[in-house]
C-alpha cells in the first residue's frame, strides 16, 4: 500500500495562491497521506512586531523561551490549524499534531555543545510513534504535523520539518511503500544549460553537482535528507513542485 508524505515550507505557506493550489492537489491524491509543514515569514514578522531579537547560527535559528513561544503560537497554532481548517473545507478529515499530542514524536533537546541552539529538538531512533500515526491513517484521518516536538520531560522543542518528514516516512516504511515529497516553488534541480529539472539523482551525481556548486546552500541538507531516506528504505523521494507529479 502506498503512503504519500508531503512536506511544505515557507515558500508554499506564505503565498496564498500556491498554497490553495497545493491543497487542491493534495486532497486529490488518492492514497493515504500525511502533511508536514514548516514555518514561514509569519514567525519572523511576529517576533519583529514584539521586538524579540532573532538569533541565528550558520543559517539555523537559536530558540530561546520567547522564540519557542512564537514558534508554538505560529506553527502549532495559526499555521497548523488554518491548514487543518482548509482541509476540512475540502471535505478532508485532518488532525493537527505537535510531537506532544498522543506522544507521537518524542525528541531530545539538542546537545548545547559545540553550539547551543537552545530549545531545539533532535529526533532519535524510536522517536516516532508509528502505531499511533497508523491508527489515524486507518481511520481515514490525515495527520498534519507542525515543526514542534516534545521531550519525555514535557519540554516543547522547535524541530526541523524536513527531518520530521523523513523520520515519519522511515518509521512507516515498514508497512507502506512511502513516497516522500518535498514540495516547493521550483520545478526541481535544474543544471546549467538544461531547461528541465533532473529526472533522477544518484548520490554520486549529487556529490559532483555539489562540488560544482550547482547544488548549494539550503538545498544541501534537503538533498542529503532525501538520499538518506532512499538509502533507508523509502520507496521514492521527490524534490520540487511535486504536486504536479501525482
Under the rule (CB under 8 A), what is the footprint of a copy of itself?
49-50, 69, 72-78, 80-82, 84-90, 93-96, 98, 100-103, 132, 135, 139, 141, 148, 150, 152-156
SS3 for 85?
Answer: helix
Query: In the complex with a copy of itself, which residue's Cβ is closer, 152 or 194?
Result: 152
What's the rounded Cα separation, in Å, for the pair 126 and 136?
Answer: 18
CA-wise closest residue to 147 among 70, 225, 203: 70
CA-wise closest residue to 170 among 121, 123, 108: 123
In angstroms, give the least distance from the CB of 41 to a copy of itself. Answer: 14
Query: In the complex with a copy of itself, which residue's Cβ is closer, 101 or 224?
Result: 101
In angstroms, give the least distance from the CB of 113 to a copy of itself. Answer: 25
In angstroms, give the least distance from the CB of 155 to a copy of itself. Answer: 7
Scan for cell 539555523, then name that residue: 60
Query: In the complex with a copy of itself, which residue's Cβ is closer, 21 or 155?
Result: 155
Distances (CA, A) of 91 to 71, 82, 102, 204: 28, 14, 24, 43
Query: In the complex with a copy of itself, which residue's Cβ is closer, 106 or 209?
Result: 106
What's the rounded Cα separation, in Å, for the pair 61 and 19?
Answer: 24
Query: In the complex with a copy of itself, which residue's Cβ is closer, 133 or 239?
Result: 133
In angstroms, give the least distance from the CB of 180 to a copy of itself. Answer: 24
What's the rounded Cα separation, in Å, for the pair 33 and 7?
Answer: 11
In angstroms, give the least distance from the CB of 159 to a copy of itself. Answer: 13
- What the block records as the C-alpha cell of 100 is 506532544
What's the rounded Cα separation, in Å, for the pair 196 and 85?
Answer: 35
HSE-CB for 137 with a 13 A CA cutoff: 21
In angstroms, give the least distance from the CB of 173 to a copy of itself. Answer: 23
Query: In the complex with a copy of itself, which residue's Cβ is closer, 2 or 78?
Result: 78
Amino acid at each position: 500500500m502506498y503512503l504519500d508524505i508531503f512536506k511544505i515550507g515557507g515558500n508554499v505557506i506564505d503565498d496564498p495562491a500556491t498554497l490553495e493550489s497545493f491543497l487542491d492537489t493534495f486532497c486529490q491524491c488518492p492514497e493515504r497521506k500525511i502533511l508536514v509543514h514548516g514555518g514561514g515569514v509569519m514567525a519572523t514578522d511576529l517576533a519583529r512586531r514584539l521586538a524579540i531579537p532573532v538569533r541565528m547560527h550558520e543559517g539555523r535559528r537559536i530558540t530561546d523561551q520567547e522564540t519557542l513561544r512564537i514558534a508554538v503560537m505560529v506553527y502549532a497554532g495559526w499555521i497548523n490549524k488554518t491548514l487543518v481548517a482548509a482541509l476540512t473545507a475540502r471535505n478532508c478529515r485532518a488532525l493537527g499534531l505537535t510531537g506532544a499530542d498522543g506522544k507521537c514524536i518524542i525528541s531530545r533537546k539538542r546537545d548545547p555543545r559545540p553550539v547551543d541552539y537552545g530549545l531545539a529538538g533532535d529526533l532519535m531512533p524510536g522517536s516516532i510513534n508509528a502505531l499511533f500515526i497508523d491508527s489515524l491513517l486507518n481511520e481515514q484521518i490525515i495527520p498534519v504535523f507542525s515543526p514542534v516536538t516534545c521531550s519525555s520531560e514535557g519540554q516543547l522543542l522547535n524541530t526541523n520539518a524536513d527531518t520530521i518528514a523523513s523520520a515519519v516516512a522511515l518509521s512507516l516504511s515498514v508497512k507502506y511503500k512511502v513516497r516522500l515529497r518535498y514540495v516547493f516553488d521550483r520545478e526541481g534541480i535544474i543544471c546549467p544549460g538544461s531547461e528541465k529539472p533532473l529526472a533522477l539523482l544518484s548520490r554520486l551525481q549529487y556529490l559532483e553537482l555539489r562540488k560544482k556548486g550547482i547544488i548549494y546552500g539550503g538545498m544541501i541538507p534537503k538533498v542529503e535528507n532525501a538520499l538518506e531516506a532512499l538509502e533507508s528504505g523509502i520507496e521514492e523521494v521527490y524534490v520540487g513542485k511535486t504536486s504536479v507529479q501525482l
